[in-house]
Chain A
Amino acid sequence: MAALTREETQNLIQEVLAVYPEKAKKDRAKHLMVNDQSVDVAKKCITSNRKSLPGVMTIRGCAYAGSRGVCWGPIKDMIHISHGPVGCGMYSTMGRRHYANGTTGSDIFTTINVTSDFQEKDIVFGGDKKLKAIIDELETLFPLAKGYTIQSECPIGLIGDDIESVAKVKGAEIEKTIVPVRCEGFRGVSQSLGHHIANDTIRDWVLPTREGKDDGFEKTPYDVNILADYNIGGDIWPSRMLLEEIGLRVIAQVPGDGTLAEMEKSIHAKLNLLHCYRSMNYVSRHMEEKFGIPWMEYNLFGPTKIEASLRAIAERFDDKIKEGVEKTLAKYKPQWEAVVEKYRPRLEGKKVMLYVGGLRPRHIIGAYEDLGMEVVGTGYEFAHNDDYDRTIKEMGDATLIYDDVTAYELDEFVKKIKPDLIGSGIKEKYQFQKMGFPFRQMHSWDYSGPYHGYDGFAIFARDMDMTLNNPCWKEMKAPWLRPLATEVQAA
């Protein structure tokens, strides 16, 4: 199907919105837009980071998910205590596939779900005593843990437990970092506020620990931090390899496969490389102001973006790095060209619709374009205005952009636009597969990955081909929708 014109897309939005009651229609209309590359400021055409409309299905998470699952979860040598009832912790442990090197129980704890399992009596009498007991118990069970974070679930904020005082008292007692995080799920409109809260706790409880002290760290002019790469399916490893290959020294990976010590020494870096702008720009801004570390966004999805990003990074350093970049680009050129040569003919001209979290809807566009595919619709669960500012330039004119799209709207858009591939989360996966659309789960790379760097691009291309050209999609028609004759014949 040919790409829609501006008018057609506009009509499509109106058509889909038509079923809503007047008030809901007015609200949702603000969250949908037809892309116009000439616009600089997204807030004129799209509203984002607002409370989801009640009564329609949203795919968003909560502040706890943003902190426990996203920002703090991957820090591997700390134990993250899900403080509250048992469920939240259960559903946020390792479902995201943030890989970590190490042995569970000795140097990594990301695979363990630790929860205070609140009961009625804890709600009535408060859970601080229980929290202290838990930390003591964990000290006995896992003496090698480098620290703890206390991730509050909703009841903690409601009953007003003082987790900060517990953190201070116990932290002094056991001489470890204990970070209380006030990330109760009811805060904010989506997981985005959880990221912000988690960033603030990194600022307040982790970064100051080595500030102004001589920790014997030997600096080099090429020290960088990788910020906000979560190592989904191992993403950070090819990223790190590339950065090291061009001559930089990565001193901290925060938080993917990262440690507490790395976070503490991140204040010594020369540059912060920020992958997911949405989730960790807050701490980058703080580090710029407080420690004078500039930050920049970069993108390692697909060869075009890798080239642009590495060159942009090199601009911040001397000729040694610039040479390193050119050498690295030349080295990998045959590798990615072979990938493009193999998969491009199979994927050329295919249309993709994306609906992911806060970064990928714009970051992976380049990788699709390298394979000759076109992204015809994109949207974020929890992005803010600044994300849409960045998206408008990445997307083609007259493409569809949707913010916090409801299950119904996404369904209808897909039915009308009929993309060749959909990339979204687990909650959309089976619905679209049953509708007969090839689908990739783009939050956790559909149990594949890594997708970053040149090595990741090869896997990305293979996965997209494997899904899109799978013969099963034709067979997905529901039995009652099949022509009767074939049924009879089969019988």
Chain B
Amino acid sequence: MPSVMVRRSDEGKLLFYVAKKDLEEVITAVEVDTAEEWGGEVTLGDGEKFFIEPISPPPTFPTTLRFKRVE
């Protein structure tokens, strides 16, 4: 359950940053991304997948959230 900081890059893409893992990747796909909810399965640029229960209302970025690794 890594603690992840999600922020927007200069190009407006969402970045997924795990300080402990030294991981900074672009988020390429988010399962649920609507006006009411944000979350579900999140896919990173390198193919890794993480999961978070959809949050309602959607969080404002940057923010720190706890994700689960999807095997």
A contact residues vs B (CB 8 Å cutoff): 41, 49, 196, 282, 285, 288-289, 296, 384-386, 389
Contacts and interface: CB of A to CB of B under 8 A. Distances in A.
Interface in B36-52: 45-46
B63 A289 contact: yes
Contacts, number: 25
A384 B7 CA distance: 19
Nearest to B23: A385
B7 A288 contact: yes
A49 B63 CA distance: 26
B19 A386 contact: no
Contact of B5 (A289, A386, A389): A289
A337 to B, nearest CB: 31
A289 B62 contact: yes
Nearest to A384: B22
Contacts of B5: 285, 289
A282 B24 CA distance: 12
Interface of B: 5, 7, 10, 17, 19, 22-24, 45-46, 62-64
B64 A296 contact: no
Given A289-B62, A289-B64, A41 B46 contact: yes
Top-5 shortest CB links A-B: A289-B62, A384-B22, A288-B62, A386-B24, A385-B22
A386 B22 contact: yes
Given A282-B19, A285-B17, 14 more contacts: A41-B45, A49-B22, A196-B19, A285-B5, A285-B7, A285-B19, A288-B62, A289-B7, A289-B62, A289-B64, A296-B10, A384-B22, A386-B22, A386-B24
20 contacts: A41-B45, A41-B46, A49-B22, A196-B19, A282-B19, A285-B7, A285-B19, A285-B62, A288-B7, A288-B62, A289-B5, A289-B62, A289-B64, A296-B10, A384-B22, A385-B23, A385-B24, A386-B22, A386-B24, A389-B24
A391 to B, nearest CB: 14
A385 B63 CA distance: 22
Nearest to A44: B46
B32 to A, nearest CB: 22
Nearest to A192: B22
B4 to A, nearest CB: 11
A41 B19 CA distance: 17
Nearest to B63: A289
Nearest to B60: A292
Nearest to A387: B22
B21 to A, nearest CB: 9
Nearest to B46: A41
A381 to B, nearest CB: 16
B41 to A, nearest CB: 21
Contacts of B22: 49, 384-386
A398 B62 CA distance: 37
A48 to B, nearest CB: 8
Contacts of B23: 385
Nearest to A389: B24
A288 B45 CA distance: 23
Contacts of A282: 19
Contacts of A386: 22, 24
A386 B63 CA distance: 20
A296 B7 CA distance: 13
A68 B19 CA distance: 21
A41 B46 CA distance: 9
Contacts of A49: 22
A24 B34 CA distance: 51
Contacts of A288: 7, 62
Contacts of A296: 10
Contacts of A389: 24
Contacts of B45: 41
A196 B19 CA distance: 9
A288 B6 CA distance: 11
